[in-house]
Amino acid sequence: MHELSLIQSLLDIVDEYAARHRFEKVNCLQLSFGCMSCIDPKSLEFAFDVQSKGTKAEGARLEFDIRPAVIYCFSCEQEHEQQHYSGDCPQCGGRQVTLTGGTEELKLVEMDVD
């Protein structure tokens, strides 16, 4: 469950920002990652609930921006967004495609703090 290490890294970032900007509490963390990045949102939330106890982020809300898979089709020379990567072009049915989006790593986009 790599979500545990992702959350620990996230909490380290929160601690660093708290020391630098002197805030006391995190209300919300906005996170972004690709749908193909093997991150399970429910596991991420569970790990956050467990690991944030006793930190400035305890009780904070997590908001996710899960980026869709994007393929480029060499047959029709078009990019297409997909919620689930199938390996086929949804427009022409071609199988000569490459994944160009949806694999983005976990990013902290914004923090709402007091």
Q: Are 105 and 33 in contact (CB under 8 A)?
A: yes
Per-residue model confidence as pLDDT tens digits over 56-105: 999 999 999 999 999 999 999 999 998 778 888 999 999 999 999 999 99
Query: How far is the C-alpha of 91 from the C-alpha of 28, rounded, in Å?
Result: 39
Strand partners, 78: 73
Convert the pLDDT of each residue in 12-37 to its tens digit. Answer: 999 999 999 999 999 999 999 999 99
Confidence of residue 52 (pLDDT cuts 50, 70, 90): very high
Task: Domains for the chain: give ranges and CATH numbers.
Answer: 3-113 (3.30.2320.80)
Q: Where does the pLDDT of residue 2 fall: very low under 50, low under 70, confident under 90, or very high at 90 and above?
A: confident
